[in-house]
Structure 1
Amino acid sequence: MKVAVFSCKPYDKRTLEAASETAADIELVYFESRLSPETVSLTKGYDAVSCFVNDDLSRPVLEQLASFGIKAIAMRCAGYNNVDLYCAKACDISVFHVPDYSPTSVAEHAVALIMALNRKTHRAYHRVKEGNFALEGLMGFNLEGKTVGCIGTGRIGQAFCRIMNGFGCRVLCYDLVPNEPLVSQGAEYVDLETLYAKSDIISLHCPLNASTHHLINKSSIEKMKKGVMIINTSRGALVNAQEAIDGLYSEKIGYLGLDVYEQEGKIFFEDMSDHIIYDSVFQLLLTFPNVVVTGHQGYFTDIALHHIADTTLANLIQLKSSPEDYQRELTAIH
Structure 2
Amino acid sequence: MSAPSILFFDAKSYDREFFQAANGNFGYELTFLGHRLTGESARLAEGHDAVCAFVNDRLSPEVADTLADSGIGLVALRCAGYNNVDLRSFFGRIHVVRVPAYSPHAVAEHTLALILSLNRKTHRAYYRTRDGNFAIEGLLGFDMAGKTAGVVGTGSIGRCAAQLLRGFGMEVLAFDVNPDLEWAERSGVTYVDMGELYRRSHLITLHCPLTSDNHHMINADTIGQMRDGVMIINTGRGGLIDAPALTEALKDRKVGAAGLDVYEEEDQYFFEDFSVRGLDDDVLARLLTFPNVLITSHQAFFTREALTNIADTTLGNIRDYFEGRPLENEICYRCCDEGCRKEEKGRCFESGPESAPPSE
Give the TM-score category using the shorter length: over 0.9
Residue in 1 that maps onto 2:253: 251
Deviations 1:284-305 (A, max 9, x none): 0011111000000000000000
Residue in 1 that maps onto 2:19: 16
Contact in 2 for aligned 1:158/1:182 (Cα 8 Å): no
Change (3 A) 1:148 1:328: closer
SS at match of 2:115: helix
Residue in 1 that maps onto 2:353: none
2:277 pairs with 1:270:
no
Taking structure 1 as the reference length, what is the TM-score of the superposition? 0.97
- Please list every run of 5 or more consecutive structure 2 residues that lacks an aligned counterpart in the other structure: 341-360
Q: 1:195 aligns with which of 197, 206, 212?
A: 197
Contact in 1 for aligned 2:149/2:165 (Cα 8 Å): yes
SS at match of 2:137: coil
Between stretches 41-50 and 156-165, larger displacement belongs to 41-50
Residue in 1 that maps onto 2:222: 220
RMSD, aligned CA: 1.3
Shift of the alpha carbon at 1:182? 2.7
Alpha-carbon distance between aligned partners in 1 of 2:99 and 2:83, rounded to the nearest angstrom: 13
Residue in 1 that maps onto 2:185: 183
Matched to 1:17, the amino acid is Q
Contact in 1 for aligned 2:97/2:330 (Cα 8 Å): no
Contact in 1 for aligned 2:228/2:255 (Cα 8 Å): yes
Alpha-carbon distance between aligned partners in 1 of 2:228 and 2:103, rounded to the nearest angstrom: 33
Deviations 1:269-297 (A, max 9, x none): 01111112111110000111110000000
Change (3 A) 1:322 1:165: same
Deviations 1:130-163 (A, max 9, x none): 0000010000000000100000000000000000
Residue in 2 that maps onto 1:165: 166
- Please list every run of 5 or more consecutive structure 1 residues that lacks an aligned counterpart in the other structure: none
Residue in 1 that maps onto 2:157: 156
Contact in 2 for aligned 1:173/1:195 (Cα 8 Å): yes
Change (3 A) 1:23 1:219: same
Q: 1:36 aligns with which of 20, 35, 38?
A: 38
Alpha-carbon distance between aligned partners in 2 of 1:327 and 1:285, rounded to the nearest angstrom: 40
Shift of the alpha carbon at 1:330? 5.3
Taking structure 2 as the reference length, what is the TM-score of the superposition? 0.90
SS at match of 2:232: strand
Change (3 A) 1:58 1:329: closer
Change (3 A) 1:28 1:236: same
Contact in 2 for aligned 1:94/1:327 (Cα 8 Å): no
Deviations 1:29-70 (A, max 9, x none): 100111112211111111110000000101111111111111
Residue in 2 that maps onto 1:124: 125
Identity of aligned residues (%): 47
2:25 pairs with 1:3:
no
Contact in 1 for aligned 2:99/2:329 (Cα 8 Å): no
Alpha-carbon distance between aligned partners in 1 of 2:107 and 2:284, rounded to the nearest angstrom: 22
Matched to 1:147, the amino acid is T
Higher helix share: 1
Matched to 1:75, the amino acid is L
Contact in 1 for aligned 2:100/2:329 (Cα 8 Å): no
Residue in 1 that maps onto 2:116: 115
Matched to 1:122, the amino acid is H
Alpha-carbon distance between aligned partners in 2 of 1:328 and 1:145, rounded to the nearest angstrom: 40
Matches within 5 A, 1:319-330: 319-322=321-324, 325-326=326-327
Alpha-carbon distance between aligned partners in 1 of 2:54 and 2:135, rounded to the nearest angstrom: 43
Matched to 2:160, the amino acid is A
Deviating 4+ runs (over 6 angstroms): none
SS at match of 1:326: coil
Alpha-carbon distance between aligned partners in 2 of 1:306 and 1:155, rounded to the nearest angstrom: 18
Change (3 A) 1:53 1:138: same
Change (3 A) 1:253 1:186: same
Residue in 1 that maps onto 2:346: none
Contact in 1 for aligned 2:317/2:329 (Cα 8 Å): no
Alpha-carbon distance between aligned partners in 1 of 2:295 and 2:306, rounded to the nearest angstrom: 21
User: How many residue pairs are counted as aligned between the two chains?
Assistant: 331
